[in-house]
Copies of this chain bind each other. A is one copy, B any other.
Amino acid sequence: MVVESREWFLSSYAADGVPTSEHLKLRSVKLSLDETSIPENFVGIQLLWISVDPYLRSRMTGHMDGLHFPQFSLGQVISEYGIGRVIGSKDSKFTEGDIVINPFMPLSEYSIVPNTFLRKVDPDNDMPLPEYLNALGIPGLTAWVGIELVGEAKQGLNVFVSAAAGGVGMFAGQLAKLKGCRVIGSTGSNEKVKMLKEELGFDDAFNYHEETDFDAALNKYFPNGIDIYFDNVGGKMLEAVLNNVNKGAKIPLCGMISEYNKAWTDRDGVRNLLNLVGKEVKMQGFIIGSYLNHLGQFEMDMQEYIKAGKIKSKTMINIGIESFLESFASIFSSSNVGKVVIHVAE
Question: Interface on A for B, CB 8 Å cutoff?
Answer: 65-69, 234, 238-239, 253-256, 259, 264-287, 290
Instruction: Please give, as numbers and ranges, the residues of chain B lying within 8 Å of A274 by CB-CB distance.
Output: 65-67, 234, 255-256, 259, 264, 267
Tell me what chain A mostly uses at the interface: helix, strand, loop, or mixed. Answer: loop
Residue of B nearest to A64 (CB): B278
Tell me the bound Cα distance from A264 to B215 in angstroms: 14
Contact A277 B264 (CB under 8 A): no
Determine how many copies of this chain the complex contains. Answer: 2
Closest 3 CB pairs of A and B: A269-B269, A66-B274, A68-B278
Residues A254 and B271 in contact in the complex (CB < 8 Å), given A282-B282, A283-B283, A284-B283: no
Of the candidates A238, A256, A285, the one having the most CB atoms from chain B within 10 angstroms of its own CB is A285
Closest Cβ of chain B to A143, distance in Å, is 15
Q: CB distance A280 to B285 under 8 Å?
A: yes
Chain B hits for A267, CB < 8 A: 271-272, 274
23 A–B pairs (Cβ distance < 8 Å), ordered by A: A66-B274, A66-B279, A67-B274, A68-B278, A68-B279, A238-B273, A253-B276, A253-B277, A255-B274, A264-B272, A264-B274, A267-B271, A268-B271, A270-B270, A270-B271, A270-B273, A277-B285, A278-B287, A279-B285, A280-B284, A280-B285, A281-B285, A282-B282
